Amino acid sequence: METSTINIITLNCWGIPGVSKNRKERLEAIAQYLSKGLHNIVCLQEIWSEKDFLYLKDNLISVLPYSHYFFSGVLGSGLCVFSKWLIQDVFFHQWPLNGYIHKIHHGDWFGGKGVGLCRIKCNDKLINVYCTHLHAEYNENYDIYLAHRVLQAHSTAEFVNLTLSSADISILAGDLNTAPGELPYRLITQMSKLKDPGHEDSAPNGIKAGGTSDNANNSYSNPKTVKLSPDGKRIDHILLHVNNSRYKEEIVSFGNPLEERVPGKTFSYSDHNAVSLELKIVDSSNGHARHHSSDHKLDDTITDAIKVCREAMVTVKKSKVLYLLTGGLIFFFLLGSVGFWPTHVLADIVRIIMSGICFYYLTMGAIWNRIEMNSLKAGVTALENYQRSRKIV
């Protein structure tokens, strides 16, 4: 009976050049930790600088000789994978809904986010490793990105479903920005065959990972949030599925492997806690049937997702009217004021600023809102089609 051991780690590295605190020192500490060779597959998010990726690549080449960075958008997706074994194939699926271009302070749109796939050859086994980072929430009281994150989760689940049959083992790792029980999490885990080792029903020996964001043990956590919930939220995940009936998995360990602080420093490795999973893939050689019970909750999840998207479509329609009305009023004001403006430098500056604002509002109403509406329609029709197909089957 042949056994292979997979030890995978995922970490959101918070690597925004010029913004993230202690970025250089933390990156060096991350490289030093990973160079110990404790993990044979590494999935990282928010490596926004290509130089940072190349630095990690140079420092990890002796233990993780194979690597891939997923270039996308303006900034480069931030996603990369390091592996002890050969990365045989790579593919990146960019989501159509990625936040807003005018929300520069959020920046998700500029990353061209999506889900990256590395197909890794481990002896005679093929492992599909999916690395991803869903859109952040930013405001818990009014989450304007919920529909975006819902459709990103749906697209990710569908992408996994369409590609997992070509591999023996599939593993999804990354910052999903959604906690167990939340709608995007339910979509990914219920629509795909991926299971969560940290779930109470499947955790080894009752062990499960703690919160990975705004946890009391992280130096970068918001003190106000920590007071309300010291354990934080578990939004970084490693999900898995063994597709080949010849193999079965045995979970050895699952949890948060990094120390609370970088050794000798007063700060943590990142503003997120890492998650690691060690499992043994056992070759039973006789094949065994895998039974996947149908989840009756999935119908409710799909219905909830469609509802969120339809509510977002109503909001987009209202925004379109507001943008076009505001831009139109400014345009006609500028047009009607021709010949009445004083010939003064300050007046010229005001005209230029108002023209820029007019162009922004008209562009948002005529083009951007149309793009967002079509993306929402595409998501809703795909969800409805999935719902219908379940009823027919």
Specify the CATH number for the domain of residue 173. Answer: 3.60.10.10
Q: What residues does 43 pair with on adjacent strands?
A: 10, 81
Instruction: Give the pLDDT band (50/70/90) at residue 287.
Output: low
Average confidence (pLDDT) over 323-348: 82
Range of the domain at 114: 3-283
Among residues 283, 305, 325, the one where a domain terminates is 283
Residues 31 and 176 in one domain: yes
**What are the backbone angles phi and psi of residue 264, rounded to the nearest 5°?**
85, 0
Residues 261 and 339 in one domain: no
Residues 126 and 62 in one domain: yes
CB 195 within 8 A of CB 241: yes
Residues 349 and 322 in one domain: yes
Residues 372 and 262 in one domain: no
Give the pLDDT score at 208.
64
In the chain, the percentage of residues whose pLDDT exceeds 70 is 93
Rounded Cα–Cα distance for residues 150 and 84 (Å): 33
Q: Which residue has the higher pLDDT, 205 or 380?
A: 380
Instruction: Give the pLDDT band (50/70/90) at residue 349.
Output: confident
Residues 101 and 171 in one domain: yes
The count of structural domains within the chain is: 2
Is pLDDT above 80 for 289? no
Position 288 in a domain: no
Average confidence (pLDDT) over 276-289: 78
Residues 279 and 253 in one domain: yes
For residue 176, give the nearest of 205, 219, 218, 209 by alpha carbon: 209
Return the H-helix or E-strand segment holding 226: helix 223-228
Position 290 in a domain: no
pLDDT tens per residue across span 65-91: 999 999 998 888 999 999 999 999 999
Instruction: Give the pLDDT band (50/70/90) at residue 285.
Output: low
Residues 75 and 181 in one domain: yes
Position 199 in a domain: yes
Range with the lowest mean pLDDT among 65-74, 255-264, 327-336? 327-336
Range with the lowest mean pLDDT among 16-25, 138-147, 176-185? 138-147
Residues 205 and 337 in one domain: no
pLDDT tens per residue across span 1-50: 567 899 999 999 999 999 999 999 999 999 999 999 999 999 999 999 99
Residues 65 and 138 in one domain: yes
Classify residue 48 by burial, with Cβ atoms within 10 Å: 0-12, 13-18, 19+.
buried
Range with the lowest mean pLDDT among 2-6, 49-53, 156-160, 344-348? 344-348
Residues 367 and 261 in one domain: no
Rounded Cα–Cα distance for residues 171 and 249 (Å): 12
Among residues 283, 315, 342, the one where a domain terminates is 283
Give the pLDDT score at 201.
57
Among residues 238, 253, 283, the one where a domain terminates is 283
User: What does pLDDT average to over the chain?
Assistant: 90
Residues 307 and 210 in one domain: no
Is pLDDT above 50 for 291? no
Give the pLDDT score at 244.
87
Q: Indicate the length of the chain as a whole number.
A: 393
The CA-to-CA distance between both ends of the chain, in Å, stands at 37
